[in-house]
Amino acid sequence: MWECNFEIDACHFRNQHNLAPFNRYFNNRNPLFGRKGLLLLNLNSRRVQKFPGSRLISHYFPSRYREACLFISYYATGYGAQNFYVIQQDKENKCIFADRRLQQKLNRWNEIEIQLDLRDGDPRFFLEIHYNKNIAGLFAIGRFSFGHGVCRQPQPNQC
């Protein structure tokens, strides 16, 4: 099991070049949204990117088995963030989760489990946010876990 809560570092996540950047937030004394560490997209700051989106890219995970489970917790506040997508990349890019109703899930942690098929090799993941560039808000990733086996409560693929 590989797990990250962003309290030590950004866990090898990197920002897609030329899109709005996520920044690592860590504060023992002043947790944000109840968490000491997270990756934060601040939609309140001035943005110069032409495309109203952001993408985090994970490292590649070894596919020793055919099945794995991906766990992600995310949080949105304000009305800027519109959609959240998880893309699995191995031989090709596959949308494996979409949340197009972020506005109905504001100010709370949303936790998802995604059942993965690893037959096409070692995957990496893109976490994409599409936002309204004229509206403020915050979007955070609070936890990201990858483990081999079957999910306990997998989410349906909404892509």
Question: If you average pLDDT over residues 93-120, what whole number do you get?
Answer: 94
For 2-90+112-148, give the CATH class: mainly beta
For every residue of the chain, which 3-state class applies, written as one string?
CEEECCCCCCCCCEECCCCCCCEEEECCCCCECCECEEEEEECCCCCCCCCCEEEEECCCCCCCCCEEEEEEEEEEEECCEEEEEEEEECCCEEEEEEECCHHHCCCCEEEEEEEEECCCCCCEEEEEEEECCCCCEEEEEEEEEEEECCCCCCCCCCC
Question: If you average pLDDT over residues 72-98, what whole number do you get?
Answer: 96
- The Cα–Cα gap between 22 and 134 comes to 18
Give the percent of the chain with pLDDT over 70. 98
Measured CA to CA in angstroms, residue 17 lies from 53, 131, 146 at distances of: 11, 17, 24
When pLDDT is cut at 50, 70 and 90, the band that residue 84 belongs to is very high
pLDDT of residue 103: 87
Model confidence, pTM: 0.93
